[in-house]
Amino acid sequence: MIEARNLCKSYRNGRETVAVLHNLSLELEPGETVAVTGPSGCGKSTLLNLLNGLSRPDAGVLEVFGSTPADDDAWAALRRSRIATLFQDGNLIPTLTVARNLAFRAGLAGRSADGAAALLEALDIAAVAERYPDQLSGGQRQRAALACAFAIEPRLMLADEPTGSLDEATASRVMPLFVEAVRQRGLTALIVTHNPELAGRCDRVLRLHEGGLVPCP
């Protein structure tokens, strides 16, 4: 599903080059849910952005669904319909209602939005489907973004601190639904999180440490 070998990624800040990921390797089996933890600034978002092709490694091999996407277009096609990323701040289009956000994302992927509409019910945001993102609470926005991520019917779900903007009570209610929806659909998921409850629901927990991934007991 995902096979990464010896990925390296550095950023240049002025004259200084900072190595963030160093010889990172990762294998994700189909249907596996894996949590990634690690302190702020250790490179978790950098890793997710390599896995969805928003940025490229400096070195190493990355195969998704059995091959290395050839170019930007190939990565963009994957992001439209096979790789969903749930970003920290919920990536909704501000000029579209929740329902239209869903329909738009589903449409781009060539899917019907019917399945995702049922998710709005499950996530308890059906009542705000006709509102715009700026008319929602942070928690509602995050749940709407979650529904949008599922609307493309992806095979791989990447999530960057999905509980970040949720209060504890909402996180405890929504995250089990998230993991259950991932499992029901047989998706493979990589979830960056500091939330022990969410990490505990995953099959494996990895820690990003000194640029590489190590198993967490």
Binding site for ligand ADP (CB under 6 A): 11, 13, 20, 38, 40-46
Q: Please count the residues of this chain forming the interface with Mg ion, following the rule CB under 5 A.
A: 2
C-alpha dihedral over 176, 180, 182, 184, to 10 degrees?
Answer: 180
Q: Does 85 bind Mg ion (CB under 5 A)?
A: no
Select 20 or 120, whichever has its Cβ closest to Mg ion: 20
Select 102 or 189, whichever has its Cβ closest to ligand ADP: 189
Q: Does 45 bind Mg ion (CB under 5 A)?
A: yes
Residue 202: CB minimum distance to ligand ADP, A = 17
Select 16 or 134, whichever has its Cβ closest to ligand ADP: 16
Select 139 or 164, whichever has its Cβ closest to ligand ADP: 164
Residue ranges binding Mg ion (CB under 5 A): 44-45
